[in-house]
Amino acid sequence: MAIADPLVTTHAPVTVLTALRTPRLLTREVLAGLVTTLALVPEVISFSIVAGVDPMVSLVASIVLAVTMSILGGRPGVVTAAAGSVALVIAPLVHTHGVQYVLPTVILAGVIQIAFGLAGLARLMRFIPRSVMIGFVNALGVLIFTAQVPHVLNVPWLAYVLFALTLAIIFIVPRFTRAVPAPLIAIVVVTAIVIIAHLTVPNVADEGSLTGNLPGITPFLVPLNLNTLQLIWPTALSVAFVGLMETLLTAKLVDAMTDTPSHKGRESWALGVANIAAGFYGGIAGCAMIGQTVVNVKIGRARTRISTMVAGVFLLALVTGLSSIMRQIPMVALAAVMMVVATSTVDWHSVKPSTLKRMPIPETIVMAVTVVSVILTDNLALGVIIGVILAMVLFARRVAHVVTVKRTLSDDEETVRYDVTGPLFFGSSNDLVDRFSYALDPGNVSIDLSAAQIWDASTVAALDSIETKYRNRGAAVTIEGLDERSTAFRGRLSGHLGG
């Protein structure tokens, strides 16, 4: 599926081996991983607060997730960590029953994700229409931007100077060099200024406690019995499918951005394995971080697993040996980077008046509803589900009106022929019964379905009803022209549907 030009950067596929043999590519991958990590830290910390767990729990889980998915994942370049969508799902369980139920919940969610991937259900992603995908991308841009706004409001005036400096570096540096990502240079420069000048501005340390000490293996503190299963399974199911939805949507987005395919099934079961590992060493689940993935792939121009492996290793270094420096990174610098990412994420071409004028109205409606649903619910997965359902309804409505029925009376007026054209399913066949002139037709009726196909039981029931109406009037009905599949389908159901 193609996404509009603003999101597409075409490159030939780059393998890990190629990157390792090419210093320029290897440098690009490493630097992309570094800047991605810096963009990852504040969100992971803030999401841990939402989930009701210690920030170190989410940070360590993110290290495990990033490294595991770098090795096992099916879409190179996707950044996986403790995510806000998963935090929102787990939070009610933690607040009601305690943090001890997180581990069994994460394990069960991981098992579900593994089963989903191995069963090949990831192929369902092909049913997400382009209009929903564009709505998803645009909503993502809006959410990323609005999430940064609190970091630039009600802050000291020095913070605004640092914010402006960060933006200036991001936009000016690429004019001279692209060897090092401009956001990485901006964050390093601004952080250095804060440290050297002893400036007091909101920083990463304000988002949560960073001890620099790694936790051990997560202890299993609840009994393994039916009561525990009954308590955790609804949350586990939500964690599993929210994580899968966001991860597969992110993989599909990166497919479009890089013009390269991915293995969605592998990405699914690998996420399950990574979540189980993160549950035992860390303590919370995660999924693809869409904003940080855009940073990695679009701004950092990463194309291999090296970038995400570097992100995981660098995050480990930040959490342990470099935690004192990480605490001092100004939040306005990170907010500026993410705001730039947000504006580049939005598909501006899709909202141009000239584009909207050409697009079919139903597709524009689907895109708008997807965007609004995501923004109102603050839930990307739910917004996409709403968009897909609406797209299906509108598509069924359009297709239902393409069916035509042509009536031809023979010269001797003893036979009438009906030619039916178009797909026959519940949307188009429910009023098929009313398209025939029962009272006017002679005793021989022929219904030609050569240009039609039967797709569901509603159509078979409609044809049975038509035959019954003609028989009640003493007319003989012949249905002809069906293809082999439709004939077999009708033969299996006809006369057995009742009423």
pLDDT in tens, 434-445: 999 999 999 999
Tokens encoding 106:
């994460």
Residue owning tokens 């598909």: 347
451: how many CB neighbours lie within 10 A of its CB?
Answer: 13
Tokens encoding 423:
């797909």
Which residues does the chain have with pLDDT short of 70?
1-12, 46, 49-50, 208-209, 211-213, 498-499
Q: Give long-range contacts, CB 8 A cutoff, 24+ apart: 188-192.
A: 189/165, 190/162, 190/165, 190/166, 190/330, 190/333, 191/325, 191/328, 191/329, 191/330, 191/333
Q: Are 138 and 350 in contact (CB under 8 A)?
A: yes
pLDDT in tens, 388-429: 999 999 988 888 888 899 999 999 889 999 999 999 988 888
pLDDT of residue 89: 79
- In the chain, the largest separation of any two C-alpha atoms, in whole Å, equals 102
pLDDT in tens, 93-147: 888 888 899 999 999 999 999 999 999 888 887 788 889 888 988 887 888 788 8
pLDDT of residue 168: 95
Q: How far apart are CA 117 and CA 24, in angstroms?
A: 35
Length of the chain: 499
Q: How far apart are CA 250 and CA 267, in angstroms?
A: 11
User: Distance of CA 184 to CAs 19, 173, 179, 328, 329, Å?
Assistant: 20, 11, 11, 15, 12
